[in-house]
Structure 1
Amino acid sequence: MSLTLLGIFAALAVLGIPLSVSLGLGTVAAMYLHDLPLAMLMQSLATSINSFLLIAVPLFIFAGQIMERGGLSERIFDAAEAMVGRFRGGLGHVNILSSFVFGGISGSSVADIASLGPITIRSMTSRGYPRPYSAALTLITATLATLVPPSILIIVAAAASGQSVGGALAGGLGPGVLLAFSLAVYNYIVSRRRSYGTIVEFNAAASMRSVLRAMPSIGAPVIILTGMFSGIVTPTEAAGLAVLYTLLVAGLLHREMGWRDVLELAIRSGQLAGTVLVILMMASAATFVFTVDLLPQKAAGLLSFASGSSFVTLLLMGVVFLIVGMLMDIVAAALMLIPVLMPAAIGAGVDPMHFLIFMVTCLAIGLASPPVGTCLFATAHVSGVPTERLVVATLPFYAINFVVLILVAAIPQIVLWPMQILTQ
């Protein structure tokens, strides 16, 4: 039954049918051919998105859109440059830091590329960094938004798996900080050896002006994260606060947006969120088929035969995550893999939160990898670097990602410590 579903899904996806439609048709065909009641399909579709938590998805997307249009992202970049731009490889560090902060508001790697990408690439190339290197670093730093709170993928994955959304978001901080630190170390070493960039004399007054100018923009992630992890607000309420705060800053303080812009961005955010939620609905129906077919138990049996420890189990799953993440939309990938592999991981002694965040860390690489990496093609577009050349320039950063993956798999506390500290 599961093979029927997956076979039809793969065939339709190869033909270019949208993933949500392919998955839905595969599910309907499998249920019909194996005499499962189709009424269960409608029930599954309806209950899958009947969740207060999922309202956070369109709201965080909306907040990211407002930041892009309202000038908040540009001010975040200027503030980051004021703090670390004067060091060797400084603009590379600015790239990393600004993506980390922006990801703490938008939760979307694609939004990071669209808003910060043109700014960072233009600034780095004007200061003596090769364009392919600038584009490659921008591509990889954008994936931080998929790891750091309030990651949209983590929200969807946690809601679909029945885990604490707040706990999962806190768990993503560990791999996010580790990846950002690793990228900063590599950027410093390469910039020093190859004399990338120019050393700019520190101007305390100008730096202070840039930081003060960006304080309202930087206040958004502070309010969001403090509110969520202190328990004052839920992730959904934090998303609503993010929209309200960014609207006030962009419209009243910066005065770079009007009401027509708000309506346009609301429609665009609804369209983007709709694609995520439709995939969630179809994946929920597919999960019903997998459960009836006992696919999770079969996967658990196979993995218990092939591995002898939780670390080896995660590494084997990591290979699956990487391959699937390179071939399909990462939200669809997560929603299909969770019901199949999560029970097997738990059976092997892996903490469910550790499994979720490790999976997200793997899938984030798919955003930056061929053949269907959304961020890869978006970066090639905004940078003007051909995709093939961009992939070659990104190879060292892929290697850094793989090292981070191994560390996350081997040391569960990278995920669990932030979760325990921030959600107490």
Structure 2
Amino acid sequence: MSAAVFFVLPISLLAIGTPIFATLMVATCTGIMLLGDAPLRAVHTAMFGSLDAFALLAVPLFILAGDIMAKGGIAQRLIELVMSVVGGVRGSLPLATIGSASVFGAMSGSSVACVAAIGKLTLPSLEKSGYGRIFGVSLVTATGVIDVIIPPSIPMIIYAIAAQQSVTELFLAGIVPGLIVASALAIYVVIRSRLQGIPSGAPPRREAVVRAAKRSVWALLAPILILGGIYGGVFTPTEAAGIACVYSAVVSVLIHREMTLADLWKTVLDSSVLVAQIMIVVSAAGAYAWLITTSGLPQGLVAFIDKLGLETWLLLLVLNVLLLVVGSVLEPPAAILVLAPLLTPIAAQAGVDPLHFGIIVTVNLAIGMFMPPFGLNLFAAHAIFKTPLPELYRGVVPFFLIYLGILMLLTYVPALTLAPVALFR
């Protein structure tokens, strides 16, 4: 009966197109009535309790900061700076896309915002330079998920809350994986540009680099302020998110003057819609996770897997496959809140560090965001750039394979994630 309530019912509802939050609420209420002796009013307590976390305030604030940076000229200045530096390298435009997405990810943490901001600025130039629209959209779609991996990352914040881990330490663990992803993508696009015979651009000129650096000074200060403040112990990640909002608004309105107060207010309203969508899923997933935890299902799963006697490497492989499948269907916040109570005890039982497992979860869900056929970034890119989904599916395959290779490396070499944490401690 419990398997039917916790798994069969939600999967069936999702298959017929039921919204995620409604699916989780139906499963929670059904489980309480059929399996538990708790009153239905406990659902309200669990829903509001899941939102009553100081660290969770960082999610809407980073989303707002990312939207302001995208619309206030900050993202554009970053791209201009990267292009002025790598302009003479074969593959300079794709490299600029990857570099800009990485820096943007260090400021916002919102993948869809990165796809929209970076894509709108780089896609026209990629097409004109002979890379083709499908490659350009695929590159932006796959590169946008770097925001999920490079801190500050919204899924990392939610995992830290669900698994009761330090947000700051989880951010530290994500630095090296994010750099590895960006480096691997950069190597691929350079090789592809050479094989495709794309000509090199004009070599970088000192005057152009200096001019672009002067224009982007305020943009470059943003990640230094945010990450330096967090790792320096000046403020918490949640406070850093608030500072990022204020900083980006001041720079966009008063310094760059590319955003009016009316534009700023519209950006706040647009961001609030996305925040509301995320938070209602977080609250429903919190109630669902509470029911799963109180039902004793995680303990039962741990005992069952322990009886199977799987070696750690095989267990991690199975968990990776599960996370990839779930990540291609559910948004990362919902997937983490549903799966973290189930999978974290299993990984801990196998001796996997919770911070290391958090990076494994995050990278899996990042890949799931552009994994055909249901990845969120695929649909976002399809809606924004009007690219046919079948062509986009084929275009992201090389990037998908690169990410899978990196996932295996990060899964089985935990030092890549845990070494920065050990140094920090």
Q: What range describes the TM-score normalised by the shorter chain of this pair? A: over 0.9
Q: Calculate the TM-score normalised by the size of structure 2.
A: 0.96
Q: Which of residues 233, 236, 239 in structure 1 aligns to 2:238?
A: 236
Q: Whole-Å Cα distance in 1 between the matches of residues 410 and 176 of structure 2?
A: 9
What is the aligned partner in structure 1 of residue 157 from structure 2?
155
For 2:247, the aligned partner's letter is Y
What is the aligned partner in structure 1 of residue 187 from structure 2?
185
What is the aligned partner in structure 2 of residue 390 from structure 1?
392
Is residue 107–residue 223 contact of structure 2 (8 Å, CA) maintained in 1?
Answer: yes
Deviations 1:226-246 (A, max 9, x none): 000111100011001101110
What is the aligned partner in structure 1 of residue 217 from structure 2?
215
For 1:133, the aligned partner's letter is F
Deviations 1:250-287 (A, max 9, x none): 00111111222222222222221222222222122112
What is the aligned partner in structure 2 of residue 82 from structure 1?
84
What is the aligned partner in structure 1 of residue 21 from structure 2?
20
Q: Whole-Å Cα distance in 1 between the matches of residues 48 and 112 of structure 2?
A: 28
For 1:43, the aligned partner's letter is T
What is the aligned partner in structure 2 of residue 98 from structure 1?
100
What is the aligned partner in structure 1 of residue 422 from structure 2?
420
Alignment of 1:255-334 (within 5 A): 255-306=257-308, 308-334=310-336
Q: Whole-Å Cα distance in 2 between the matches of residues 39 and 385 of structure 1?
A: 46
Report the secondary structure of 1:327's partner residue.
Answer: coil
Q: What's the C-alpha RMSD, in Å, of the aligned pairs?
A: 1.5
Report the secondary structure of 1:200's partner residue.
Answer: coil
- Of 299-308 and 156-165, deviating more is 299-308
Cα distance change of structure 1 residues 86 and 260 upon mapping to structure 2, 3 Å threshold: same
Cα distance change of structure 1 residues 419 and 3 upon mapping to structure 2, 3 Å threshold: farther
- Of 171-180 and 289-298, deviating more is 289-298
Q: Which of residues 16, 38, 47 in structure 2 aligns to 1:45?
A: 47
Report the secondary structure of 1:201's partner residue.
Answer: coil
Q: Could you tell me the percent identity over the aligned residues?
A: 34
For 2:178, the aligned partner's letter is G
Q: Whole-Å Cα distance in 1 between the matches of residues 154 and 201 of structure 2?
A: 37
Report the secondary structure of 2:328's partner residue.
Answer: helix
Per-residue deviation, 1:33: 1.7
For 2:290, the aligned partner's letter is F
For 2:283, the aligned partner's letter is M
What is the aligned partner in structure 1 of residue 30 from structure 2?
29
For 1:259, the aligned partner's letter is L
Q: Which of residues 364, 367, 373 in structure 2 aligns to 1:365?
A: 367
For 1:232, the aligned partner's letter is V
Report the secondary structure of 2:144's partner residue.
Answer: helix
Is residue 80–residue 212 contact of structure 2 (8 Å, CA) maintained in 1?
Answer: yes
Q: Whole-Å Cα distance in 2 between the matches of residues 361 and 395 of structure 1?
A: 17
Deviations 1:305-330 (A, max 9, x none): 44543332211100000011112222
Q: Whole-Å Cα distance in 2 between the matches of residues 195 and 418 of structure 1?
A: 39
Is residue 9–residue 23 contact of structure 1 (8 Å, CA) maintained in 2?
Answer: yes
Q: Calculate the TM-score normalised by the size of structure 1.
A: 0.96
Q: Whole-Å Cα distance in 1 between the matches of residues 199 and 333 of structure 2?
A: 37
Is residue 102–residue 145 contact of structure 1 (8 Å, CA) maintained in 2?
Answer: yes
Per-residue deviation, 1:337: 0.7
Q: Which runs of 5+ in 1 are unaligned?
A: none
For 2:131, the aligned partner's letter is Y
Residue 376 (1) aligns with residue 378 (2): yes
Q: Whole-Å Cα distance in 1 between the matches of residues 304 and 241 of structure 2?
A: 40
- Of 190-199 and 243-252, deviating more is 190-199
Per-residue deviation, 1:190: 1.2
Cα distance change of structure 1 residues 370 and 36 upon mapping to structure 2, 3 Å threshold: farther
Q: Whole-Å Cα distance in 2 between the matches of residues 272 and 71 of structure 1?
A: 21
Is residue 373–residue 393 contact of structure 2 (8 Å, CA) maintained in 1?
Answer: no
Q: Whole-Å Cα distance in 1 between the matches of residues 196 and 264 of structure 2?
A: 45
What is the aligned partner in structure 1 of residue 345 from structure 2?
343
Q: Whole-Å Cα distance in 2 between the matches of residues 307 and 187 of structure 1?
A: 42
Q: Whole-Å Cα distance in 1 between the matches of residues 211 and 275 of structure 2?
A: 36
Q: Whole-Å Cα distance in 2 between the matches of residues 210 and 419 of structure 1?
A: 34
The alignment covers a number of residue pairs equal to 423
Residue 133 (1) aligns with residue 127 (2): no
Q: Which runs of 5+ in 2 are unaligned?
A: none
What is the aligned partner in structure 2 of residue 6 from structure 1?
7
Deviations 1:321-357 (A, max 9, x none): 0011112222211111100011000000000011111
Is residue 307–residue 313 contact of structure 1 (8 Å, CA) maintained in 2?
Answer: no
Report the secondary structure of 1:368's partner residue.
Answer: coil
Per-residue deviation, 1:130: 2.0
Is residue 81–residue 216 contact of structure 2 (8 Å, CA) maintained in 1?
Answer: yes
Is residue 2–residue 30 contact of structure 1 (8 Å, CA) maintained in 2?
Answer: no
What is the aligned partner in structure 1 of residue 357 from structure 2?
355
What is the aligned partner in structure 2 of residue 56 from structure 1?
58
Report the secondary structure of 2:418's partner residue.
Answer: helix
Cα distance change of structure 1 residues 280 and 415 upon mapping to structure 2, 3 Å threshold: same
Is residue 342–residue 352 contact of structure 1 (8 Å, CA) maintained in 2?
Answer: yes
Is residue 166–residue 228 contact of structure 1 (8 Å, CA) maintained in 2?
Answer: yes
Q: Whole-Å Cα distance in 2 between the matches of residues 306 and 330 of structure 1?
A: 29
Is residue 171–residue 357 contact of structure 1 (8 Å, CA) maintained in 2?
Answer: yes
Q: Whole-Å Cα distance in 2 between the matches of residues 380 and 419 of structure 1?
A: 38
Q: Which runs of 4+ in 1 moved over 4 A?
A: none
Q: Which of residues 226, 240, 250 in structure 2 aligns to 1:224?
A: 226
Q: Whole-Å Cα distance in 1 between the matches of residues 91 and 281 of structure 2?
A: 40
What is the aligned partner in structure 2 of residue 173 from structure 1?
175
Q: Which of residues 400, 403, 411 in structure 2 aligns to 1:401?
A: 403
Per-residue deviation, 1:8: 2.4
Q: Whole-Å Cα distance in 2 between the matches of residues 91 and 302 of structure 1?
A: 51
Q: Whole-Å Cα distance in 1 between the matches of residues 313 and 213 of structure 2?
A: 43
Per-residue deviation, 1:116: 0.9
